[in-house]
Structure formats: structure tokens, C-alpha cells
Amino acid sequence: MFKPATVAYPVLLCLAFAGCARNTAMPVDPAQFASTDRTDAAHDFRVLHAFAGAPKDGAGPDSLIYADGELIGTTVNGGKYQNIKAHRAGGTIFQLSPDGSESLLYDFGSGKQNDPPFDNSLFSADGNIYGVDASENLKTQNTAYLYRLSKNALVQLHEFKTAAAIPLNVTDIGGVLYGSAPYGGKHNCGELDKLSTSGMVKIVHAFTCSSDGAQPSGPVVRIGSTLYGAASMGGPSGGGTVYAVTAAGAERTVYAFSDAGSGYSHPRGALVDAAGRLYGVLGYGEASGGSAQGAIFSVTRGGSYATLLPFTDAATQGSFPSGSLVYAQGKLYGTTLEGGTYGYGTVFSLTLSGKETLLHSFNKNVDGYNPDQLIYANGRLYGVTQNFGPKGHGTIFTLKP
């Protein structure tokens, strides 16, 4: 079992697992979800868990992390408090063992705390799991809270005021926590923040919607003493930026994407540092062939840019890359929300020279739809599908690189 953990996002949560787990689903036999994809045997693809939905299981998994031999994640719906008539989405925090057995650690939607956990909200630090739970739409900057989860109860630790940006996409870098707030801040263009588990937030950089970009997307990565990240909007040409910020807050734009003409724009997710370059995902744009299905890019810290892989053929490549890339065993790995053999998304590998291989094509009711949140742990890749699957509410899957 995982040790004390924390969760939530527009609510930071500290999650103490002792005494709060309850078994909710039996292990899933991967054999019953076998696919006809030719690469599956080589990569040992499995459905680790198929979500059954309310009231005894979650629905719509989004966040996923690996900690102390267990997978910890959130679902945005399901659980015992989901009530469609009462407009309660529910949501859960769950734990999966390597054999696929599940325990629900917390059900969202009871009492004053009625909203599901925010997307991509989990992170680990100090032996705990943290996250945020938004009480309302982040664009309107409504109140959010820092909680500790203990004995199936949330204890409020800190309230983020309505005028403040709420840091998401938090990552632990050398014992220091950094988070990006996509909205709010001095210019209402987002912030990069340094924070503590007690809820104290210090602004490292407030985005201006100008040359530095707007709506920072995904966790930052540190190279030397500098933090690098992506902003999905803004910049000189409106297509987003790759930015660099020193610990003292000095910011520079590494590369600016353009919405005009051909090319790709609007980076999303975390950047990956590999072989002297930064790699990332682009959501939109048109190549010379007229594709608008996304791309994988690379850029040096000095701003030398290259489109590594444009997605131009949905059936053979996948389309609309999602989440963040993973770098493992000398290759990049990622997911696409759509495309592949059946049209419901893919897992792919990519060499640093740009050669792509499809590792798995999803087949909706067989193994899920819209794969996302890929992570690498103990020699395997893990991820979520947000919809469908054998029980209709998404899946957790795993495969070898």
C-alpha cells in the first residue's frame, strides 16, 4: 500500500491513506480484452482496470501518477455521490495495485465540497500525494481550497482567494514545488508559482499575454538553474511559446509559435529534456499538406526549432496528440486522442530522429477511447482512456515500451 498521500486541485489535498481505502472492484483479467493489433503481443498490452461508474466505482479517469509501487489517480465522475439530477458530478481518488485490484480512497461530492477533482491535478512530494479540487470554473477564479484527506474526511488547510491564480500542474523539482496557473494573475494571463504544501504561494513569473505568452500549460522542467515550460496561448504571433524562467523570475521567450499560415501552434503539456533538446506536443496548425491534426516538435534552449513529427494520416499515425510525452529507453512515447486502426486513439513511440511506430490502436468498447496521461514506471507505460472500455466509463491500461 502507498503511504500517506495527498490530493485535489483548485484544492490542494494531503491524502493519508491509512484507514481510508475500501475495495470497490475485482482485478480485471487482461486476457478478456485482447486486441487484434499486431504490436500488442510484443508490447504486452493489458487493460489493468475498467471503470464501472457510480456508485461503487469512478468514471472518466484523468490524473494518474505512480508512487511506492501503486498507481494513484482521479476520476471526474462516478463514486457514491454522483447525482445527475442534483447536478453533482461526483468523482473519486483511486488506487490500483500492479495486479489491477482497486481501492477507492475518497469520493468527491459530499457536504460543501461538491465538485470533482480538477484535471491533471495529482503530484507527489514528501511521501504524500497532492492535488486540487476546483469549486467552480477556473476562468472565473472562484474560491478553491487546500485540504488534507484523513480517515475519509477532508480537512481544509488553506483557501485560495477569488482574486488569486490557482497553481495547477505542480511538480517537485529538487524538493521545491512549482505549479503553473493557466488563468488569473496580475494580467489575468496565468502565472508560474512556487508553493508549499501548507498552501503558501509565491509568484515566480506573471504572464502578460504579450511576448512571453499566456495560459502556461503543463509542469515545468529544470535544466541547470533555469525552468522551461510551454504557454499554450499568446506570444508575438498568438500561437503560444516555449519560455524560460530563472529562479529569480527573469523570463525570456525561447520560441514563439504562429497561428498564421502553415506550421503548428499551441503547445500543451510538459516539455521533455532529451539529448540537448526540448520536446513537446502541438495541438493545432496546418502543414504544407493541409493537415491540422497536431505535431511533435523539438527546440534547443537557444531557440532552434524543428517539427519532428507532423500528424498527417490518422489511420497510420494517429491524430491529435494528447497529454505529455514520456522519454524512456532512448525514445519518446505518447498518445493520440483519435486515429489508429479503429479511429479511437493510439499509443506511439518516436525516435529522436522522427521515426514513429504505433504500439497500440484503441478499439472503443474493447479497451477504451481517448487515451491520455501516459507515465513510465518500473519498465512499463501506464495511461488512461477517458471514455468507453468494457464497462463503459474509461480504463487504466499498461504496456511495455
255 or 323: which carries more pLDDT confidence?
Answer: 255
Looking at mean pLDDT, say which of 81-95, 116-130, 309-323, 382-396 comes out highest.
Answer: 382-396
Q: What is the pLDDT of residue 395?
A: 98
- Mean pLDDT, all residues of the chain: 81
The model's pLDDT over 263-272, given as tens digits with 9 standing for 90+, comes to: 688 999 999 9
Q: Which of 188-202, 328-342, 369-383 has the lowest mean pLDDT?
A: 188-202
Q: Strand 153-160 vs strand 144-150: parallel, antiparallel, or unpaired?
A: antiparallel
Q: What is the pLDDT of residue 42?
A: 82
The span from the CA of 182 to the CA of 132, in Å, is 14
The average pLDDT across 55-70 equals 92
The model's pLDDT over 301-329, given as tens digits with 9 standing for 90+, comes to: 999 999 999 998 999 999 999 989 999 99
Q: What is the pLDDT of residue 285?
A: 55
Q: Which residue has the cell 487493460?
A: 47
C-alpha torsion 79→7→45→31, nearest 10: -30
- Residue closest to 130 by CA, chosen among 269, 10, 44, 245: 10
| 276 burial level (CB within 10 Å; 0-12, 13-18, 19+) | exposed
| pLDDT classification of 128: cutoffs 50, 70, 90 | confident
The model's pLDDT over 270-296, given as tens digits with 9 standing for 90+, comes to: 999 999 999 999 976 544 344 578 999
Q: What is the pLDDT of residue 2?
A: 37
The span from the CA of 64 to the CA of 123, in Å, is 9
- Residue closest to 382 by CA, chosen among 340, 333, 342: 333
Q: What is the pLDDT of residue 52?
A: 97
The average pLDDT across 170-198 equals 87
Confidence (pTM): 0.86
The span from the CA of 214 to the CA of 192, in Å, is 11
The average pLDDT across 160-167 equals 65
Sorted by where each begins, the domain ranges of the chain are 1-30+42-163, 179-273+280-306, 313-401
Q: What is the pLDDT of residue 291?
A: 56
Cell numbers given for 188: 489575468
Residue 58 has pLDDT above 80, yes or no: yes
Q: What is the pLDDT of residue 109?
A: 79
